[in-house]
Structure 1
Amino acid sequence: MRDVCIVGGGVAGLAASIFTARAGLDTIVVDAGGRSPPSSRTQSGDGGESILARNASLENYPGFPDGVDARRYLRLTREQARTAGSEFELGRVTSTEPIDETALEAGFVLETAGGDPLEARRVIAASWPDSEYLVPLDVGRIKRGSKHFVSVDEAGRTAVDGVYAAGRLADEPHQAIVAAGHGATVGLAVVHDSDANFYHDWVTPEGYFTGRGREVPPGCEEIGEDERLERDERARARMLEAFSEPLDEEPTMHPSVEGK
């Protein structure tokens, strides 16, 4: 059984997966990959797309003064999630039910189209706009026009213990930076609720804590100057490689426009 199953490989789901995986929770992201019908779960998950992939350019994400290709941003975020320890599978979740109705801490079983069921102790729904798989659970779906949203508290918890919602599905604004932030908030809520030994994501200069007679807190790390320079070199080399050439393919068009 997995610790966390995240349904949806967009910005919110990816951000949540980075936090849960880095905290040591066994995390899997299931994404339909923008396909209709979705591809089999047996594939690697590299082809997953979020609605952001329809953007010609992502313009309001901090850290990119002149904007960034939204598809490249998604690829790098997915790579970061993998580096953190998340696993990916392509497919569409069709239903989610408790393993034991009388004991939600036993986890949930997620049925998938064309694949084996998945079991997870906690579920994060980040699959805008699809939430039909949550119907078997009384999570508080709210219909607004043709779309459904999921009612959550300030940390993304639904009315069902162990089930969370992140990003647009949780009625957050349709902005990438907001989705990423909310996904991180939900990921941290899952970490907190699971009692994982996770404190922060600080990597500090050597002596930052120990120089004050303190132990380095869980989730933190002190590194020396040589290690800092090595990490900086590695990070810069990866960014130079990632942005060395433009992406060949074009942005994904809205389904209503395709074929015209």
Structure 2
Amino acid sequence: MYDVAIIGGGPAGASAAIYTAKSGKKTIVIDNDQSVTKRAWIENHYGVEGIAGPELVAIGKKQAAKFGAEFVTAKATKLTAGDGFITVETDGETYEAGHVIIATGMFLDIAETSGVRTKPGTEPRIKTIVDCTPEGKTSLDNVWVAGTAAGVSMHTIITAGDGAKVAINVISEINGERYVDHDVLKV
């Protein structure tokens, strides 16, 4: 069983995976390789002069894998609550995790088929989002949402930051105290 299953490997999902894996949580990312970021050219990302979306996605996944996140290519189709865990069904396998983060961008099939409450979106071209608390909690226990699926702007830097925020909240809930991840420059 995984501590955290993340559905979606774009900026929000991979960013969340960087934090959960780095904190020592057993993390799996279930990604269908359909991130809209893979079609983007990005020149407004802090710290990067310009980058192709596919390269940004690849770098994020590589960072998360460096800390131990596992990646599988599959389409997550349904979430089912168990006794203290969530079962994630895909188009070929099932996975169990204590917490799930939905980071599927503008695609909410998994939320809708799993009974996660949604509401109208406010961003251009985003018709529906997951209804969640400011921390990222959804209407299903131990199911969280991050990024565009949570209603934040689909700019990569914003979705990545939201993925990190939600991951910190998940880690804090698992640990029972506020989690902080700050590395110090070694001089």
Task: Calculate the TM-score normalised by the size of structure 2.
Answer: 0.90
Note the C-alpha offset of 1:179: 0.3
Percentage of matched positions with identical amino acids: 32
In 2, the alpha carbon distance for the partners of 1:85 and 1:74 equals 17
Say whether the 8 Å CA contact 1:94–1:132 is kept in structure 2: yes
Q: Aligned match of 2:80 in 91, 97, 101?
A: 97
Which of 59, 66, 69 aligns to 2:43? It is 59
Q: Identify the residue that residue 110 of structure 2 maps to in structure 1.
A: 133
* Structure 1: stretches of 5+ with no match in the other structure: 35-49, 101-105, 206-222, 226-260
The alpha carbon displacement at 1:199 in A equals 4.2
Report the number of matched residues.
184
Which runs of 5 or more structure 2 residues have no equivalent in the other structure? Answer: none
Match of 2:17 in 1: 17
Larger Rg: 1
Question: 2:88 is matched with which residue?
Answer: 110
Q: Identify the residue that residue 40 of structure 1 maps to in structure 2.
A: none
The alpha carbon displacement at 1:196 in A equals 6.9
Cα RMSD between the aligned structures?
Answer: 2.0
Aligned with 2:173 (options 189, 193, 197): 193
Q: CA–CA distance in 1 between the matches of 2:154 and 2:111?
A: 21
Distance (Å, rounded) in 1 between the aligned partners of 2:113 and 2:39: 31
Q: CA deviation at 1:174?
A: 1.4
Look up the match of 2:31: 31
Residue 148 of structure 2 corresponds to: 168
Question: 1:167-246 maps to which residues of 2 (within 5 A)?
Answer: 167-195=147-175, 199-204=179-184, 223=186, 225=187
Structure 2 CA distance for aligned equivalents of residues 78 and 107 of structure 1: 25
Which has the higher relative contact order, 1 or 2, with Cα contacts under 8 A spaced 6 or more apart? 2
The correspondence for 1:122, drawn from 93, 96, 99, is: 99
Q: Is the 8 Å Cα contact of residues 111 and 130 (structure 2) preserved in structure 1?
A: no
